[in-house]
Amino acid sequence: MIEARHRRRRAAFATLAGLTACTAAGSATGARAQSVGFDPADYGKAQLPLRQTTGDAASYVDQNKGAFEPIAELDPSSALAALARPIGRVDIVLRNESSGQTVGASCTGELIAGDYVLTNHHCLPQSGNLRPLKASILMDYLTLDGKGARRFEIDPRPVEFDPRLDYAIARVAGHPTGIYGSVRLSAEAVPGSRSMLVIHHPLGRPKVMSRFRCFALKDQAEGPDLRHRCDTLGGSSGSLMFDADAGVALHKEGGLDPKDATSFNAATRLAAILGRSRVLAEAVAAQARPSAKASATPPPGSPPPADGTAADKTPVTKTPVTKTPAGGPLDTDGMNAILRGR
């Protein structure tokens, strides 16, 4: 699904009424908010009823059943299925601080080592007029009936966030990484024209992937943004863009125009986020270290240990996770620009 490019960008969450209608298919050129609105009374449900029109996008997904490739159809033992396991749908209930009214929104998020969730800042906004009251991540949401899906509560107050880079990292309860693992991250540069892959929950629907004609735009600008032409919709915000088996960018906004070959969607390069994030930097460092078990295993043909203990019984020492103080850099002007639209 290619997102419509608008003549001007609407605010991510400018008004309560606008928030419930903020999908990529119906918003303006590259609207930054790609969460999808829902009735807060439906919070906690696997299937979020679409109580409003979303233009042609939703019907196209329903009718063709192949606009995106369903993760449910993959062999569970395949590498792609394993790559998708730590990715889920982030559901949020937000309150308008001025009116006191609440609204629901849905994004995509990834499990990070240490039981954190990575998503966009505009999904868990910490400045502006909206505040998240509660949030959760729905894992293994692969079919509309929600069979086999599990929900884990997220602390709506991120331990790290940056409105300018549009990322937020929040703690998640219930130790989901023990079940689903965590995503691999990379700070490697992504050259233009590189083929990519996005795994996400467009329109809050069951998990899918975009890989057909999914690539980094040939012409890239200076700075932290990665321009790409991978198909996304509202609800895709916060999804990782993969190069091989590692995430290299965090998708944040749309802007594709089927009539304009130079148009693009936008993501934030992980290299830029890693320069600000202690949690992600520690996760990358941990994934680069060999496990104690692997380092203790002798090469084939080596004599057994002197004490007779089998090499594969060597205990693995767990590295403690450093708690990051709550809060983060507040870029008020940047958030206001998101709310106003750019």
CATH number at residue 261: 2.40.10.120
In a domain, 100, yes or no: yes
CA distances from 287 to 84, 158, 167, 281 (A): 17, 23, 21, 10
Residue range 43-73, pLDDT digits in tens:
999 988 765 444 455 555 555 554 699 999 9
Report the number of distinct structural domains present in the chain. 1
pLDDT at 35: 75
Structural contact between residues 36 and 49, judged by C-beta atoms closer than 8 angstroms: no
Residue 1 has pLDDT above 80, yes or no: no
* Cβ within 8 Å of residue 13, ≥6 positions away: 19, 22, 33, 94, 105, 122, 125, 128, 129, 130, 339
Quick one: pLDDT band at residue 303, thresholds 50, 70, 90? very low
In a domain, 332, yes or no: no
pLDDT at 117: 98
pLDDT averaged over every residue in the chain? 78
Residue 272 has pLDDT above 90, yes or no: yes
In a domain, 323, yes or no: no
Across the range 176-182, mean pLDDT stands at 98
Q: How many Cα neighbours within 13 Å face the side chain of 151? A: 14
Residue range 128-171, pLDDT digits in tens:
899 999 999 999 999 999 999 999 999 999 999 999 999 999 99
Across the range 221-250, mean pLDDT stands at 93
In a domain, 138, yes or no: yes
The parent domain of residue 178 ranges over 1-47+69-290
For residue 11, give the nearest of 102, 28, 239 by alpha carbon: 28
pLDDT at 192: 86
This prediction has a pTM of: 0.73
30 phi-psi bin (left φ>0, alpha ψ -120 to 50, beta other): left
What does the alpha-carbon distance between residue 93 and residue 27 come to, in Å, rounded to a whole number? Answer: 20
Residue 100 has pLDDT above 80, yes or no: yes
In a domain, 304, yes or no: no
pLDDT at 313: 36
Residue 95 has pLDDT above 70, yes or no: yes
What does the alpha-carbon distance between residue 39 and residue 66 come to, in Å, rounded to a whole number? Answer: 27
Across the range 93-118, mean pLDDT stands at 96
| Strand, coil or helix: 232 | coil
Q: Where are the alpha helices (DSSP H) in 156-291?
A: 177-180, 270-274, 278-288
